[in-house]
Amino acid sequence: MSYDKFDDLITTGALYFCRSDLFSDPFEGSIPTKDVEKREADFEDISKKFEDFSEDRRQSWFEESQIRFRARHRVEMQSWFINCWHLSEYESAGMWHLYGDKENTVSIQSTYATFKELLPDFSFISMVKYIDYRTDSLLRGGWNIAEPFKTKRLSYEHEKEIRALINDDDLDIKEKLGKTLNASELKRKREGGPYIKGQNDIKGYKVSIDLQSLIQSIRVPPNASNDQKDKVKALIRKFGFDSNIVQRSEIDVDPVY
C-alpha cells in the first residue's frame, strides 16, 4: 500500500473497505456471459407463460425485465465493500512492482487465520476465484448474491487475492458501521416489506481492528532507503508498536557467486 494509506491505517486503527463499483477493474461484481444467457433463457420461458400477451408485448416485457435486472445489479454493486490482501508464503517481486514504488510503499504481513479471527462479525473473508467470464459459470445449484464479488478474471490470477467483504444492505450492519439510516431505511427496518434501494453515496467504510494482533511484520520495498525505513519505524512507535517488526524486503538479499 502507499505510505499515505499506511499512515492512515496506523493512525486510525481501521481497515478501509472500498465500494466495489469504485475499483478500476470494469469486471468487478459483474456476471459471466454464461450466467447472463441462462438468466435470459429463464425470463424467455417465463414470458411464454403469459398467454394473453401478444408476441410484441412478450418481447417488450422481456427486454424491460433485462434492463431492470441490470439496473438493480448495478445498484447492488454499491452495497458491497471490499478490503483486499495478497495471499502467499513468500514476497512477490511482481506485486511490489504493480502496487508499489521505491519511495512510497509499505507492506504489512499477517496470517489468514489471524485476519479471519479479528474481523468483526458483520464481515466475512473469502479467497478470490479466478474464472473465464466467457465460458465459466458462478451458478452452483442456485444463485449466491455474494459470488460476483468473490470472483475475478483469469488475467488477475497472479494477485492470489483474499478479500474481506461487507454488505451494507443489511441495515443492522449499516448501523454497526456508524451510519445514520435515512427515512426510507428507517421505514424498512420498522415495518419490513419491500424496499427500493437508491444510489449509495458512501464510498467506503473504515472498520476498527486490533492492529497490534493483526500485524506480524512490516516490510519496506526492495532498495528502500534507510530514511524510509526509519520513517515507518518512527510512525509505528508513536502508536505503541515495537519498531523491530519493520524489516527490509526479503528480495533485498545479496546474491552469492
Domain ranges for the chain, please list them: 3-248
pLDDT band at 185 (very low <50, low <70, confident <90, very high): low
Return the minimum-mean-pLDDT range out of 11-15, 35-39, 232-236. 35-39
Return the minimum-mean-pLDDT range out of 28-32, 200-204, 243-247. 200-204
pLDDT band at 199 (very low <50, low <70, confident <90, very high): low
Q: Is 211 exposed, middle or buried (0-12, 13-18, 19+ CB in 10 A)?
A: buried
Of 83, 82, 84, 85, nearest in space to 167 by CA: 82
List of residues 6+ apart from 117 with CB closer than 8 A: none
- Alpha helix ranges (H) inside 119-200: 171-176, 183-191
List of residues 6+ apart from 114 with CB closer than 8 A: 213, 214, 216
The arithmetic mean of pLDDT across residues 241-246, rounded, is: 95
Distance (Å, whole) CA 1 – CA 96: 9
The arithmetic mean of pLDDT across residues 29-55, rounded, is: 85
Distance (Å, whole) CA 66 – CA 256: 62
pLDDT tens digits, residue range 134-144? 999 998 766 78
% the chain with pLDDT above 90: 52
180 neighbors 189 (Cβ within 8 angstroms):
no
pTM of the predicted model, to two decimals?
0.86
pLDDT tens digits, residue range 96-139? 888 876 668 999 999 999 999 999 999 999 999 999 999 999 98
What was the pLDDT predicted at 55?
80
The arithmetic mean of pLDDT across residues 145-158, rounded, is: 95
The arithmetic mean of pLDDT across residues 228-249, rounded, is: 94
Does the structure show a pLDDT above 80 at 188?
no
Which amino acid would we find at residue 41? A
Q: Look over the chain and give the mean of its residue pLDDT values, rounded to a whole number.
A: 87
What was the pLDDT predicted at 181?
66
The arithmetic mean of pLDDT across residues 171-192, rounded, is: 69
- For 44, 175, 251, the CA distances from 210, given in Å and listed in that order, are 51, 20, 28
175 neighbors 152 (Cβ within 8 angstroms):
no
